[in-house]
Amino acid sequence: MTFSFPTTILFGAGVIAQLPQTLERKHARKPMLVSDHGLLSTPVFTRVHSLIPHAATFTNVNPNPTEQNVLDGVDFYRAHNCDSIVALGGGSPIDAAKAIRLKVTHTLPLAEYDDLLNGAGLITADLPPFIAIPTTAGTGSEVGRSSVITIAATNRKTVIFSPYLIAEPAIVDPELTLGMPPHITAGTGMDALTHNVEAYLAKGYHPICDSIALGGAKLASDNLPIVMRDPANIDARASMLMASMMGAIAFQKGLGATHSLAHPLSSEYAMHHGTANAVLLPYVLEFNQDVSNDRLASLANHLNVADLPAHIRHLNQLGNINPALRAYNIPESALPSLAAKAIEDGCHQLNPRPCSEQDLLSLYREAW
């Protein structure tokens, strides 16, 4: 077995000020700043860009990043003679930046690097310097070794995975999350919680990840209600960022059926990934009950709750997350085709209870 936790993390209020020196140490003189349109007009973007005014800014990143976003980014990187990449934002720009970084030096079609096809073996250390700066507390992509991109040929969210994709370093400053709108705080926060919960329940032996997942789940469960009630609470914001990173570290063990169900909702109907996880997680926990009862009981005990699915639904209610998929313009007629997509997604393979396509369809119907 190989256990690996190599990410360097600069963490705390105000650490963003270290960005120029970090680039200088890497001899990076022309960074490409990858972000998204939503951040472009915010004080957070202005603050970060003022630290690296010489950066070339690329914001053509969809909320669920696509292969075309990546290819456009590679063209931009080369056209502006960039020598490094800085990603600023949530999971979308950070994931896109990882894939752009890969394609700058790796010439195969992006689909060839699919983790389900053992694409990790094709990825080498020949990559430009990369710094990740999160502005949301959800995906933990800043410390993860994977990128999730929708590939054009399949219209399927595809996981590209390699330790070489890890940021060097991640700069994680809770001050950059203070301006998140409430619905983004809720959706990303539930994403962080889902990562920790599914990692803990995933099949396989990894007591290191299990312990991290328990701690991350507790941080998210305790602090999400605080940031919803008091958005300026910097300590709670820092705890949510830590929960997000812990989830991303823990899910190297694996995830589960919630993510297989959530991914097609994003690629087919542009549903926010964290929100999709939030809606579906209680149903998957109930589906897993008979197989994973001991783990579910342990997790509920750690969170100091009596009923874990009910607790998830309560947190969703605090975040004003509508519990029905129909509220997000998901047509009932689409559920069978979504289930066909979900069974192709690799995350459910480590779900504690095996899933058939019919099982996934039934879970969609319960949540609809």
**pLDDT tens, residue by residue, 69-90:** 999 999 999 999 999 999 999 9
The torsion region of residue 81 among left (phi > 0), alpha (psi -120 to 50) and beta comes to: left
Structure tokens at 177: 């999350």
d(CA 84, CA 26): 9
Q: Higher model confidence: residue 286 or residue 6?
A: 286
Mean pLDDT score across all residues of the chain? 94
H or E segment at 68?
helix 67-79
Answer yes or no: are the C-beta atoms of 75 and 58 closer than 8 Å: no
Give the dihedral sign, CA 296/301/302/305. Answer: positive
**Beta partners for residue 131, in sequence order:** 86
3-state class of 48 per DSSP?
Answer: helix
pLDDT tens digits for 140-196?
A: 999 988 899 998 888 888 889 899 999 999 999 999 999 899 999 999 999 999 999
Residue ranges of domains in the chain, CATH in brackets: 9-176 (3.40.50.1970), 181-367 (1.20.1090.10)
Q: Give the model's pLDDT for residue 93.
A: 95
Q: Does the pLDDT of residue 214 top 90, yes or no?
A: yes
Q: Does the pLDDT of residue 200 top 90, yes or no?
A: yes
Enumerate residues 6+ apart whose C-beta is below 8 A from 342: 260, 261, 263, 264, 348, 357, 360, 364
Q: Give the model's pLDDT for residue 354.
A: 96
pTM, 2 dp: 0.92
Q: Give the model's pLDDT for residue 2.
A: 59
Cis peptide before 169 (omega within 30 of 0): yes
Q: Does the pLDDT of residue 7 top 90, yes or no?
A: no
pLDDT tens digits for 17-30?
A: 999 999 999 999 99
The whole-number average pLDDT for the span 205-233 is: 97
Q: Give the model's pLDDT for residue 152.
A: 87
